[in-house]
Amino acid sequence: MRAVHATEFGGPEVLSVREVPEPVAGPGQVVVDVTAADVMFLDVQLRSGWGTEFFQLEPPYVPGGAVAGVVTSVGPEVDPSWVGKRVVTDTAASGIGGGQPIGGYAERALAKADTLVAVPEGLSLSAAVALAHDGKTALAIFDRAAIQPGESVLITAAGGGLGTLLIQLARAAGANVVAAARGSAKLELATRLGAHAVVDYSEPEWSAKARAATGGAGADVVLDGAGGASGADAIEAAADGSRFIGYGAAAGKFADLDREVMAARRISVLGLFDLTGTSDIDWLALTGRSLTEATAGRLEVVVGQSFPLEQADRAHVAIESRTAVGRTILTV
């Protein structure tokens, strides 16, 4: 079968398709005939050589931590009724708060039976894989933010996969949504999805504009998917006593926040690892919930760009250049 390999750490050009042996399901595992594979910003970072202190990866390896497709075979101790079912799942090596996001950019992939989620009829496998990571994460963030009707919510990196979902969830909760993103295409998308105001955070004084969009009072909730300097600047648009959830690092790192200032302003801070490190969240149930919401039409899944397996390098270029809108996937 064909699989994309990162032959060494470096630019997108290190990705190439190779012929590899067919996977064989072991105990508790299944083989999924892949229709679509998720492409994460994390995949791009790892390919470049970032994060080796957190992920013990050595090239060559097959990137990709989530796939959607049809189960073709099961290993020992697995219910055989899974065979033939459409599923979305983490790869066998991947997992929340641990594991390695690898094995997904391939024609067939191994997965653990206990991470399989059946894809409802009426939802495409491309949409399902776009929710594999973002669906459960968006709902976990949304639930923790406890957004109330009438509150102002600032969302950074609003044109990405998570941001587009959070706009819709916050709007449905009755919030006044201010979306911050880079470039007209992403801002237009945020407006279409329900943002009341949009701000380009590549422009000077963007945080002052975001605060003005809340009527000057500041955002009651900041959902920061940008990280870096943009995430830190977002604090200037936050109200005293607000809630800040920093879940993303689209800028290359999480926001560097002054904890003394945050404490003085009574701004509560929650990071991504505060979510992924807890055992209180049923991630599988959240994935199923996101699929249900999308199937019912209450949540639009934005797949901004898709590429065939042999063009995985182009998918990485789109993400790295910040031109990708919504979610990026590979089709097989």
CA distances in angstroms from 72 to 85, 147, 201, 245, listed in the order given: 8, 42, 46, 40
Burial of 297 per CB tally in 10 Å (0-12, 13-18, 19+): exposed
Q: Are 48 and 180 contained in the same domain?
A: no
142-185 pLDDT per residue, tens = 999 999 999 999 999 999 999 999 999 999 999 999 999 999 99
Structural domains of the chain, count: 2
166 and 83 in a common domain: no
Residue 216: CB atoms within 10 A of its CB come to 9
pLDDT for the residue 134: 96
pLDDT in tens, 293-316: 999 999 999 999 999 999 999 999
Of the pLDDT bands very low, low, confident and very high (cuts 50, 70, 90), residue 54 is confident
**Is the model's pLDDT at 101 over the cut of 70?**
yes
Residue 10, amino acid: G
Query: Quick one: 79 and 6 in the same domain?
Result: yes
State how beta strands 29-39 and 66-74 pair.
Answer: antiparallel
* Within-domain flag for 129: no
- What CATH number does residue 210 fall under? 3.90.180.10
Q: Which of 98, 45, 111, 34 is nearest to 329 (CA)?
A: 34
pLDDT > 90: percent of the chain = 86
Cα 60 to chain centroid, rounded: 24
pLDDT digits (tens, 9 = 90+) for 203-225: 999 999 999 999 999 999 999 99
pLDDT at 55: 86
Give pLDDT tens digits for 4-38.
999 999 999 999 999 999 999 999 999 999 999 99
Q: CA nearest 331: which of 22, 34, 17?
A: 34
Q: Does 124 fall in a domain?
A: no
- Domain extent, residue 145, equals 134-276
Q: Are residues 146 and 262 in the same domain?
A: yes
139, 257: one domain: yes
Q: Whole-number mean pLDDT of the chain?
A: 95
The SS3 assignment for 305 reads: strand
141 and 112 inside one domain = no
- Which residue, 261, 276, 291, sits at the end of a domain? 276
92 in helix, strand or coil? Answer: coil
Predicted model pTM: 0.94
Q: Give the residue-averaged pLDDT of 234-260.
A: 88
DSSP string, 32-55: EEEEEEEE-HHHHHHHHTTTTTTS
User: Dihedral sign, CA of 243, 200, 188, 125?
Assistant: negative
Poorest-confidence range of 70-74, 92-96, 235-239, 249-253? 249-253
